[in-house]
Amino acid sequence: MIRLTQVTKRFGGNDVLKQLDFTLERGEIVGLIGHNGAGKTTTLRLMAGILDPSEGTIQRPRNFRSEMGYLPDEPFAFDYLTGEEMLYFIASLYRLPRGAVQEKIRYYLRLFELDSQASRIIKTYSRGMKRKTALIGSLLNEPAYWLLDEPTESLDPLATRILKDLIRGARAENRGVVISTHQLTLAETLCDRLVILNRGNIVFGGSMDELRASAAGNASLEDIYFSLVSTW
């Protein structure tokens, strides 16, 4: 489990996140929803250990760094490595032997239709191809906790479908997944639990059924979302 308790994150005197209480359990998919600037990316960076909280505590498993897969909102890549070389480099950061990941890299390259492009340098890749490469990299250590920041951004429909299947598969394998997304439909159809952020505050946390129960009638997720954030 990853647990954030009364976490505040401050940049230059500005509270970007305010006393967040948030957990990610294994075997569940949690959706982080919010406007630009709501604090979604900061929340993921705190969970990943990239940032430290200004106040509050974050509990993670003992071997968390080796068990985590993280896709940032702007994935980093060495432009003059090939796609395949970049994936082997990521594997080396997890201390995964080349022989142990060779077939896995080949499998994911085929799955995301990058196998014919794997020997090209990343500088020549489209944004979507770079995104696919970063996604593959986040999967190489078979993470127990998979943290995804806008994972469908720049992906084509087929890759988006594949990603959804992989996320559902991760849950079935008792892995915890958190997705930061602007796509309300994606969150509604894929996530077990939703956390709605607005101006650094959690304005809702619970299941889709609980969210619907909080609204009158048969309102859509979009209508409920805008109703919630407009009151803050």
- Mean pLDDT across the stretch 52-59? 96
Three-state DSSP class for 203? Answer: strand
Whether residues 151 and 226 fall in one domain: yes
- Is residue 132 a part of any domain in this protein? yes
- Average pLDDT, rounded, for the chain: 92
228 is written with which tokens? 């919630």
Helix (H), strand (E) at residue 145: strand 145-149
- Report if residue 71 sits inside a domain: no
Q: Are 17 and 113 within one domain?
A: no
Say what the pLDDT of residue 165 is. Answer: 97
Q: What is the mean pLDDT of residues 158-181?
A: 96
Q: Please give the backbone phi and psi of residue 143, each rounded to the nearest 5 degrees, phi first.
A: -65, 140
State the number of CA atoms in the 13 A half-sphere of 230 facing the CB: 6
Alpha carbons 35 and 33: distance in angstroms, whole number: 7
CA nearest neighbour of 228 among 183, 195, 190, 185: 195
DSSP-assigned beta bridge partners for residue 82: 121
This model's pTM is above 0.75 = yes
Q: Decide the pairing of beta strands 145-149 and 176-181.
A: parallel
Q: What's the domain count of the chain? A: 2
Please check whether residue 64 is in contact with residue 94, taking contact to mean a CB–CB distance below 8 angstroms: no
**Is 124 part of any domain?**
yes
